[in-house]
Structure 1
Amino acid sequence: MSAASAHRERPRSDVVRHPHRWLLHGARPLCRWIIRRRYDVRVIHPERFPSHGPVVVAGNHVGVIDGPLMAIFAPRPVHALTKIEMFKGALGGLLTAAGQIPLDRTAADPGAVRAGIRVLRDGGAVGVFPEGTRGSGEMVSFQRGAAYLALTTGATVVPLTFIGSREPGGSLNSLPRRRARIDIVVGQPVPVTAVPWPRRVSQVAALADDLHQQMQSGLKDALAETGRSLPGPLPSGEPHE
Structure 2
Amino acid sequence: MNLYTFAKGLTSLVFNPLYRVKVVGAENIPTSGSVLICSNHINNFDPIIVGISAPRPIHFMAKEELFRVPLLGQLVPKLNAFPVKRGMSDREALRKGLKVLKDDNVLGLFPEGTRSKDGKLGKGLAGAGFFATRSEAAVVPCAIIGPYKLFGQLKVVFGEPIDMNRLREQKASAEETTEVIMNSIKELLEKY
Bigger shift: residues 150-159 or 35-44: 35-44
Shift of 1:53: 1.0
AA of the residue aligned to 1:128:
L
Change (3 A) 1:187 1:195: closer
Q: Report the TM-score when normalising by structure 2.
A: 0.87
In structure 1, the partner of 2:37 is: 57
CA contact (8 A) 2:157 2:188 kept: no
Q: Distance in 2 between matches of 1:45 and 1:32?
A: 18
Q: Distance in 1 between matches of 2:105 and 2:119?
A: 25
Q: Which structure: larger Rg? A: 1
Shift of 1:120: 0.5
Q: Does 1:185 align with 2:157?
A: yes
Q: Report the TM-score when normalising by structure 1.
A: 0.71
Change (3 A) 1:115 1:25: farther
In structure 2, the partner of 1:73 is: 53
Shift of 1:165: 4.8
Matches within 5 A, 1:78-227: 78-87=58-67, 88-135=69-116, 136-166=118-148, 176-177=149-150, 179-193=151-165, 203-222=173-192
Shift of 1:195: 5.3
Among 39, 43, 46, the residue aligned to 2:26? 46
CA contact (8 A) 1:23 1:99 kept: no
Identity %: 29
Aligned residues: 189
Shift of 1:148: 0.7
Deviation string for 1:212-231 (max 9, x for gaps)?
22221222112xxxxxxxxx
Change (3 A) 1:107 1:203: closer
Q: Distance in 2 between matches of 1:94 and 1:181?
A: 29
Point out the structure with the larger helix share: 2
Shift of 1:154: 1.4
Bigger shift: residues 54-63 or 28-37: 28-37
Q: Distance in 1 between matches of 2:2 and 2:49?
A: 18
Q: Secondary structure at the match of 1:153?
A: coil
AA of the residue aligned to 1:206:
E
Shift of 1:26: 4.4
In structure 2, the partner of 1:27 is: 7
Query: Unpaired segments of 5 or more residues in structure 1?
Result: 1-20, 167-175, 223-241
Deviation string for 1:88-147 (max 9, x for gaps)?
212222211111121110321111111111111111111111111111343231111111
Query: Unpaired segments of 5 or more residues in structure 2?
Result: none
Q: Distance in 2 between matches of 1:36 and 1:216?
A: 24
- RMSD, aligned α-carbons: 2.3
Higher relative contact order (CA 8 A, sep 6+): 2
Q: Distance in 2 between matches of 1:101 and 1:64?
A: 16
Segments of 4+ moved more than 4 angstroms: 193-196
AA of the residue aligned to 2:137:
A
Q: Secondary structure at the match of 1:127?
A: strand
Deviation string for 1:23-46 (max 9, x for gaps)?
224432233123224331111121
Q: Distance in 2 between matches of 1:39 and 1:218?
A: 20
